[in-house]
Amino acid sequence: MEAANVDDLRVLYQSTDFIVLDKHWDIRIDSKQWYETCTVQKQLKRKFPELADPSTYYGFRFCHQLDFSTSGALCVALNRNAAGRAYRCFKERLATKAYLALVRGHLSRIRMTIDYGIGKNSTEGMTHMMCAEGTPGCTNVKPCKTELFVLQYGTYDGQPVTKVLLQPLTDMEAANVDDLRVLYQSTDFIVLDKHWDIRIDSKQWYETCTVQKQLKRKFPELADPSTYYGFRFCHQLDFSTSGALCVALNRNAAGRAYRCFKERLATKAYLALVRGHLSRIRMTIDYGIGKNSTEGMTHMMCAEGTPGCTNVKPCKTELFVLQYGTYDGQPVTKVLLQPLTGRTHQLRVHCSVIGHPIVGDFTYSLKTDCSPYRMMLHAYFLRIPVEDEPIEVIACDPFVTSVDEKWVPQQTVQEVDSVFLKLKEQGLQRELSLQRVQDAACGKHKDTGHEVIPETEEQSLLYTQWLANWSLD
């Protein structure tokens, strides 16, 4: 029962794209602590130095996690493409995992489904632990399910134990600082698939995981010390919203992205599950949105006409019905949403005001929709036609039965691909129209001898401030 050492690396499978290891018990996958002399990352660098990727912080891309104390099969991707392929398998629930364990006592049933929600323990001195729903201090509870199969009864050191096989059926884990999914990367931009329930940035000490911290952990060499958070976010995604998020890696890139948003050339489309079955398969939601000045609700936005609604601005959203179905037995509709204007919480407010709030939106369901593990809003498609580098990404659809078995589609109205291709075409037409106007303007300047004045640093600063406030969901 020897402890792991840096030379003790057991390989179960190896190809040009992947290595699968038999991880030792009581060894971390990676660590920044100087006293951690043996980690899986260090074992890999020792045995396969030629396979380490210098563009990653640890040199290797781990496709999933195993706890410090857990031994067994651990898959490592050897390049970015392989990591993306493996990620899709995990996200779409195609990966199968099974664990062996010895548990205390003799179980009376030879097979059982353990169905308890799991949350974070907020009790002082126990914040490093998770806990089952109903435990005092248990917060942010997510539904979790595990299948258990009894294999053998016996004893361990004279005490009764049972050998079991465990299959986790859910993987609704909260984000962690190492879980950063990259959809696109260049010298100027990174586009991430943001996790749900994680802030982009925060000054609060207790926010141990933010997108900014994930970026600093994975790409420390790309952080810009001249900015407060180290990175320039080209737009915003709400805490509860997952999906495509674009980050500029320098001031010039941020300015180019800003112009695309300012000139309404960026195309964004979101997927959502909303409560109830909509009667119309396409609609334009056209309600102004303002800030709620009512006491106790000042953190919320509101639709025009709501008592206490101030600073109202016109807002418009296109809605397309994709599927009708149920979530946890209740009627819901899967929709694609395209914001035509940009206002904080626009999509959430617009869905709420038409009587079909987003599933899991605790705030805009008047604190009644609290059972789902997350808010069902996802930034699915993003196109930013940046000059010389048009960015276009799709963040995989998380609202499929293989990911969440509580969502059961019953009728497909239209495929998501056909809808967003139309939206993309409309965006391309806008780009073409603007290009013609700009070409005409350039010709006019040339004919008259007028000089086109470049943007000042002050204008660039205004652009950056505007970007920081841009929020659509």
CB 27 within 8 Å of CB 10 = no
Burial class of residue 269, CB neighbours in 10 A (0-12, 13-18, 19+): buried
Tokens of 439: 């070409």
* Residues whose CB is less than 8 angstroms from the CB of residue 48 and which lie 6 or more positions away in sequence, other chains included: 19
Please identify every residue annotated as catalytic: 238
Report the alpha-carbon distance of residue 370 to residue 258 in Å, rounded: 36
Q: How many CB atoms lie within 10 A of CB 134?
A: 10
Long-range contacts of 85-88 (CB under 8 A, 24+ apart): 85/17, 86/18, 87/63, 87/181, 88/396
Helices (H), 23-134: 40-47, 80-91
Nearest to 249 by CA among 234, 264, 235, 238: 234
The token pair at 273 is 């599950």
| Radius of gyration of the chain from its Cα atoms, rounded to whole angstroms | 25
Identity of residue 289 = I
Q: Please give the helix or strand (H or E) that residue 336 lies within, else none.
A: strand 330-339
- Which phi and psi (to 5°) does residue 297 adopt? -130, 20
Cα 385 from chain centre: 22
Query: Cβ(92)–Cβ(43) under 8 Å?
Result: no
Q: Are strands 145-156 and 111-115 parallel, antiparallel or unpaired?
A: antiparallel
Residue 164 CB neighbour total at 10 angstroms: 19
DSSP state of 2: P
